[in-house]
Amino acid sequence: MSEATTLGQSIPSMIVVEGLRKSIRNGPRTVDILKGIDFTVPQGEFVAIMGASGSGKSTLLGLLAGLDTPSAGNVHLNGVAISYLAEDKLAQVRGKTIGFVFQSYQLIPTLTALENVLLPHELNSDSKDAAAGMARSRDLLTSVGLGDRLDHYPVQLSGGEQQRVALARAFVLRPPIVLADEPTGNLDSTNGAHVLELLLHLNRTEGTTLVLVTHDPVLATYANRRIVLRDGLVVADEVNANPAGLAETATVAS
């Protein structure tokens, strides 16, 4: 929390995590996955959450996105406490506040690339302006280099291409927060680098708060801040004063 405040009071907190705990029952035993997590992420920050397998980082990300209910504690997104909202209310918050990038893309197989990107726009009852949504979706897909593959179905795209569609989908509603769960985990290094490049580029141009879960230390060097988890507790929370810049300004694949 302290680091965030040192950056300046003028920057509002986008994510506030308070005393977050999560236990799951496994038969007679109760397994504590998260044992009390607290941190705050100011607007526009790029945080990498790191940790080994089983450290609880995916659970944490899930709770940040309101994909599950914590056993204790709360998560505030953009000032709204989300952890105990009803499922449908939560869906609205997710739709408006969060863009999500999964390790395994999770595109809807029956929809085309364009329709997949359009979907959050359509799901959000406030955004009635179909034409604007359509234009935004096309632009985003073009900006991730898929302008000529709008009508392709996920199965007709490579893994890297699918993840780029997923990126476009995550950003389509200009969410204040984007959560990414090992976004390059399923990709080879070339494609992975490309996706990361695009993610950072979008993050910068859209001014989004980005939380990225990874176990890849190299990936973490790009972040402003690293939070390291071990056994359900934060063991390190450090500012990276000098994040690795991408070699060149993010360019779009032609």
Is position 94 an interface residue for other proteins (rule: CB under 8 A)? yes
Count CB atoms within 10 A of the CB of residue 165.
Answer: 26
Instruction: Identify the CA nearest to 49 among candidates 208, 232, 231, 225.
Output: 225
DSSP states along 112-147:
-HHHHHHHHHHH-TT---HHHHHHHHHHHHHHTT-T
Is position 160 an interface residue for other proteins (rule: CB under 8 A)? no
Among 11, 52, 81, 123, binds other proteins (CB under 8 A): 123
Residue 32 pairs with which residues in a beta bridge? 23
Nearer to other proteins, 1 or 134 (CB): 134
Q: Parallel, antiparallel, or unpaired: how do β-strands 98-101 and 177-181 relate?
A: parallel
Query: Interface with other proteins by CB under 8 A: which range of 3-11, 84-92, 202-210, 228-236?
Result: 84-92
How near is the Cβ of 182 to other proteins at its closest, in Å?
10
Among 44, 51, 56, 95, binds other proteins (CB under 8 A): 95
Is position 195 an interface residue for other proteins (rule: CB under 8 A)? no
32 CB-contact burial (10 Å; exposed 0-12 / middle 13-18 / buried 19+):
middle
Nearer to other proteins, 4 or 33 (CB): 33
Task: Report the C-alpha gap between 120 and 232 in whole angstroms.
Answer: 32
Among 3, 32, 115, 206, binds other proteins (CB under 8 A): 115
Is position 87 an interface residue for other proteins (rule: CB under 8 A)? yes
Phi-psi domain of 138 (left: phi exceeds 0; alpha: psi -120 through 50; beta: other):
alpha
Instruction: Identify the CA nearest to 153 among candidates 187, 191, 194, 114.
Output: 114
Is position 118 an interface residue for other proteins (rule: CB under 8 A)? yes
35 to 64: interface string for other proteins, x by CB under 8 A:
-----------------------xx--xx-
Per CB under 8 A, residues contacting other proteins are: 58-59, 62-63, 65, 67-69, 87-88, 91-96, 98, 100, 102-104, 106-111, 115, 118-120, 122-124, 134, 153-155, 169
